[in-house]
Chain A
Amino acid sequence: VAYLCFYSVQLSNMLAAIIMLIFICFCVHFQNTAGQFFSSGHTNNWAVLVCTSRFWFNYRHVANTLSVYRSVKRLGIPDSHIVLMLADDMACNHRNPKPATVFSHRNMELNVYGDDVEVDYRGYEVTVENFLRVLTGRLPPSTPRSKRLLSDDRSNILIYLTGHGGNGFLKFQDSEEISNVELADAFEQMWQKRRYNELLFIIDTCQGASMYERFYSPNIMALASSQVGEDSLSHQPDLAIGVHLMDRYTFYLLEFLEDIHPASKSNMNDLFKVCPKSQCVSTPGHRTDLFLRDPGSVLITDFFGSVRKVEITMEAIHLTDPILQLEDGEEVQEKTYSYVDQLPVSEIIHQKPKQKDWHPPDGFILGLWTLILLVFFKTYGIKHLKHIF
């Protein structure tokens, strides 16, 4: 009997194990199909797009930034999640033969400025200090929401910089520079404050690769349009507008992004192949050693698009009480209102001068009087006080 019992126990154990195995296989199968939705771990997307050059002949930098803005908006990131910084106004510039437009292709084929653009930082507001404040989140309390980067630890952020640069720096507005060390430290601050989940950094300037050399925070992938010692070149001029319209790297990047739609499965390896040396003349570079995932498994839309994940919960939610509208009693006002005279001449002429607010005396005045009093009492002695006053 014991032998049979033992045998039955063994059988039941094996049965339990088999059931468990089937159950796990079931779950794993579900994981694989649903896994595609949840593999990247981010829940929202942000973009910070900066053009750092001023003056009309730097039209192409504004066109670069606006073409990335256009692609990012088209793929789903809303304006509230995009911080767009343009250092100068090209669209309504008086030199622009077609106002309210910024073109990226010759013969004015594509207007990247569009009809519903929202520029958050414009003109003189684009400074190194404001850029770093936006990244780190240390803004004055009265800054409006559209000017803040309100990302959290599950945000994927795309940062795009363009302008004139050199080995280790990027020039802002022809008057100041940001160095690669500062940028790396800003990203480290963001990492320590958990302000991003993953970060894609794209830079289109001369010697752009020098800007990502110093990064040391995890989960950053960087692309640049040229290596150290090389210049990024502009693409094509338009004879009617009179300036170069785009830079080569961003031009081919825009062409690549035009083929992407919100459901496409292209990954980062395709992005690294954009603009080879034959088209770009400079050698684009990239850096993925800080990134934890394999670039081949990272979708383009993880950074350029805004695919929202939905988490379903079974908790019950208690709604608040409906708002009671109190009935206001009908009060008949006896007072009659009226408009004010816009230019009351007699009133103005006889206006009393404004009473200046009394301020306590300045420190200088106080010190002067103290000195005078000290000298006085030193000379004449305290006992003479009652004779003087």
Chain B
Amino acid sequence: MHSYFWLLIGRWEATEVDEAALGDSAADKLGVRASDTFVLTPTPQPKDDFQEELVIRPLHSGDIYASFQFRTLWETDFMRENKVSHYRLFPKSLGQVISKFSVRELHISFTQGYWRTMQWGQPFLPSPPGAELWVWFQDSVTDVDAAWKELTNVLSGIFCASLNFIDSTNTVQPSASFKPLGIVNETDHRFLRYATLPREIVCTENLTPWKKLLPCGSKAGLAVLLKSEKLFHSSFFSQTVHIRPVCQDRECKTTSWELRQTLNVVFDLHTSGQGKREWSLFKMFSRTLTEACPLASSSKIYIDVTDNPQEEYFELSPATPLLSQAVVLGDRRTFSVYDLTQQVTFGTVRSLNLLIRWKSTEGDMLRPLLHAERYVAGYGLQTGEIHTVMYNNHPFRSFPVLLLDSVPWYLRLYIHTLTVTSKGKDNTPSYIHYQPSKDRMRPHLLEMLVQLPPHSVTEVTVQFERALLKWTEYTPDPNHGFYVGSSVISALVPSSVAMDTNITQEQPLFSSFFPCKEESSYFVRVYTEPLLVNLPTPDFSMPYNVICLTCTVVAVGYGSLYNLLTRSFQIEEPNPRLAKKIANFIRRIRGVPLLS
């Protein structure tokens, strides 16, 4: 009621503050000493940079692998006292997470599907099925577990995922794997936490907040292609976020923060391609490109044409003169490059729709040097055996691998049955770190450094026993089974081509993720399948059945006994005939005793 009195008689006056008015009197009113320098210049912008790229690699099985990489570099210090408040390209939600929880490195991935190494080769950035989160905290954090718990809750709100299910029962602290990928002074593994949720589902509600972290959103640039209806109709989908401090230049005197968002997707020939070996941007993503992101300093598309030097296998249109070579995954690959910041790329139709048409289906795939499998052997619901099989396909070189296994507490591992065999003979690991589980508190952690002989198969087996859970600990669908997270195999694989040890900005993004210390080998991480294990499941309708049965038995038994004990029995006269009834009626009226 009072508000429209003001409407009637009030006026809204705007007051302007300009520099001239800020004389001594105004300064006194604001409680500021006149001697202070009062600078109203705009705050100097921290230097940040955004790059985007898309790599398309046709696979030999007819499928096609597309990998998007978006990188934001920002020279700033999140750890200083006055908080960073001016965000431009770097998303504010992640910046606040970094400064609040004193995070040094954060790696999170959401994956649907399993990467088939034997058919598709090695991915640029591997990820396990489900959700995976590993974080390095700063040295200044006193209670890492509390910070980890809060961080998972905050991230579950940002990415609309149930990351709050990460707790002490599925978090491990690896002792040798997962070394930091960014700049660091020293590595104390007390500040590392790793957790994986193999059951986590990825869908549009995870993609939407991920797209919102990009500077251009999904409105311009390569992110326009990210439509969920096409992306989830694929054999493999993975979206990741990586935050770490990196060197700014070759001298590496200053660091800047790097945020990398990658999206890997493999489209299947038959479900998305309708069986025809012909791929285009429109067929894959139901969109074409019209412009680069205006905020990006570089926006490129790379098509892998190494196997197609004379265009004998497939034809690429529109043709492009730009070619670039990069050493990635131990191999020198040739790429055709489309630069989206040049207007000539889009041609006269102002849109770019790449077309890859196959002419013949010959050709051999480069066999991956390292790949792994994992399965559960055994029968029944009491015991079983986990087998992890690692293949070294190099003809004459052997190399070490670090195997990380995190098994939930309800599969009780018998470590005395652990065997590692290569080519039939025992292969003793040079380093074993085992942390036993604690029921309902901690999972098993097994880390081993194994030397894989050349051209061999190494098998790691361990027996386990299944535990019986309390009835409240079962999920609503317990007969589906319980998941065991993927094993992680980190290896330094010998490369056939000299790797580039200088990480500079000129390299394409997909080849500069893992830092390279020596030229003769490259670092690779391979994830195995997650396991699905059935635990002995009780019949949840039994409490109801037992209550019904017991109550019925008690009611019938007690009721009958009570009747037998307390009721007295009488002999009842049969019904009298009609004449007798009328006679008795008249006698009752007269008040005379009745007939028997």
Q: Hey, which bits of chain A sit against chain B, CB under 8 A?
A: 30-31, 34, 54-55, 89, 91-92, 98-101, 113-120, 122-125, 140, 142-147, 173-175, 311-314, 321-326, 332-345, 348-349, 351, 354
Contacts and interface: CB of A to CB of B under 8 A. Distances in A.
Nearest to B202: A92
B82, B201, B449: which has the most chain A beta carbons within 10 Å? B201
Given A100-B229, A337-B252, A338-B183, A343 B503 contact: no
B514 interface: yes
B201 A92 contact: yes
A115 B492 contact: no
Interface of B: 1, 3-4, 6-8, 10, 12, 30, 32, 39-40, 43-44, 82, 85, 112, 149-150, 153-154, 156-158, 160-162, 164-165, 175-176, 179-184, 187, 199, 201-205, 208-209, 227-229, 231-233, 247, 251-255, 400, 402, 430-431, 449, 475-477, 490-492, 503, 514-515, 517, 523, 540
A337 B201 contact: no
A345 B475 CA distance: 41
A322 B86 CA distance: 13
B43 A340 contact: no
Contacts of B32: 321
Contacts of B30: 321
Contacts of A98: 229, 233
Nearest to B165: A124
B491 A343 contact: yes
A30 B82 CA distance: 51
A268 B44 CA distance: 55
Contacts of A311: 3
13 contacts: A117-B204, A118-B160, A123-B199, A175-B476, A333-B253, A336-B253, A338-B252, A340-B180, A340-B187, A342-B492, A342-B523, A348-B431, A351-B176
A119 B162 CA distance: 10
A145 B232 contact: no
Contact of B204 (A115, A333, A343, A348): A115
Contacts of A322: 40
B162 A34 contact: no
A123 B39 CA distance: 53
Given A99-B229, A125-B164, A324-B39, A339 B503 contact: yes
Contacts of B85: 323
A116 B112 contact: no
Nearest to B478: A175
B203 A343 contact: no
Contacts of A342: 179, 181, 490, 492, 514-515, 517, 523
Contacts of A140: 153
A100 B4 contact: no
Given A116-B208, A340-B187, A349 B449 contact: yes
A30 B204 contact: no
Contact of A341 (B7, B208, B517): B517
A34 B490 contact: no
A330 B503 CA distance: 25
A343 B490 contact: yes
B137 to A, nearest CB: 16
A336 B252 contact: yes
Contacts of B232: 91-92, 99-100
Contacts of A332: 253
A302 to B, nearest CB: 20
Contacts of A333: 253-254
Given A55-B477, A342-B179, A323 B3 contact: no
Contacts of A55: 477
B184 A146 contact: no
B130 to A, nearest CB: 12
A323 B180 contact: no
Given A175-B476, A336-B252, A142 B150 contact: yes
Contacts of A92: 112, 201-204, 232
Q: Among the interface residues B85, B175, B203, B209, which one has the most CB atoms of the partner chain A within 10 A? A: B203
A339 B3 CA distance: 63
Contact of B179 (A116, A144, A340): A340
A66 to B, nearest CB: 11
A235 to B, nearest CB: 24
A340 B523 CA distance: 12
A142 B179 contact: no
A343 B492 contact: yes
A123 B395 CA distance: 47
Contacts of B165: 124-125
Nearest to B154: A144
A229 to B, nearest CB: 22
B449 A146 contact: no
A147 B152 CA distance: 14
A354 B434 CA distance: 11
Nearest to B5: A27
B160 A119 contact: yes
Nearest to B244: A339
A91 B228 CA distance: 11
Given A143-B153, A325-B44, A337-B247, A312 B6 contact: yes
A119 B205 contact: yes
Given A119-B205, A339-B247, A349-B430, 8 more contacts: A54-B477, A125-B165, A313-B3, A332-B253, A342-B179, A342-B490, A343-B492, A351-B175
A343 B43 contact: no
Given A92-B232, A124-B162, A175 B10 contact: no
Given A333-B254, A348-B449, A142 B490 contact: no
A114 B208 CA distance: 11
Contacts of A340: 179-180, 184, 187, 515
